[in-house]
Structure 1
Amino acid sequence: TQDVFVIGATNRPDLLDPALLRPGRFDKLVFVGANEDRASQLHVLSAITRKFKLEPSVNLVNVLDCCPPQLTGADLYSLCSDAMTAALKRRIHDLEEGLEPGNSALMLTMEDLLQAAARLQPSVSEQELLRYKCIQRKFAC
């Protein structure tokens, strides 16, 4: 026989039907929390930007210093998406003005990232983080 593994994900484990948590169903719970320390956030931000062309002046630690403390991976992705949008708008403007050759690579600047960081709003509040930690303790084995 083949082993079958069923994996589910939720951001509201407190709403799970207890029948799903009985032995033989979803036996294991894995809590994946927000990246609460800057080292973890830097690791995630580095992973998101690994394929981006960054100007040499870009310092991701300094970018994080301008961000709110409780950022999720989705928040960091949003930061990068907003910065890339700003870079694209800048590039289009420069091309239209003839300031840049059309074959040059799009590069994210420190300014792009800092402007995106200034507009960034965390998707999870401090209160929600505390609630998730309580849920984690409730379901901890």
Structure 2
Amino acid sequence: MAIQSAIPVSFETYFPQGAYVVGEVEQVMKWSDDGKQQGQDLDKNTGHPMWRVRVFDADPAAKRGQGEVMVKIASISEPQLPPALNGLPFRPVIFEGLAVMPYTPDTPGRSRVAYSLRAREMKAAPKPRGSE
């Protein structure tokens, strides 16, 4: 039987060089089959509203097109962004409860498995030693 649920993965395993949030926290919207917006999507397990953030993988070896991902977070209230780094739009971040969600996209003529990332919580990354 194929995996039907999220696959837990540690932050350090998925983002060994760290990660940075860019932009704002956004609501994940729910859409009807006929393309009409139906409000904010809810997590199927917790019933909490779904949010998402754009994340850059700090790994310089990331392949072209794979350095940016979206991470979804189920939370009753809007997750707060960590502080910006030296006034830049990059915000060092860690995700707790990170999981990979495999799915098959509805793309005519193509059969492949894709995945999305979910997290239980977003936090500011700790400052490296000696960076103060």
Give TM-score scaled by structure 1 length: 0.24
**Which has more strand, going by share of residues?**
2
Q: Which has the higher helix share?
A: 1
| Bigger radius of gyration | 1
TM-score of the two chains, using structure 2 as the length reference: 0.25
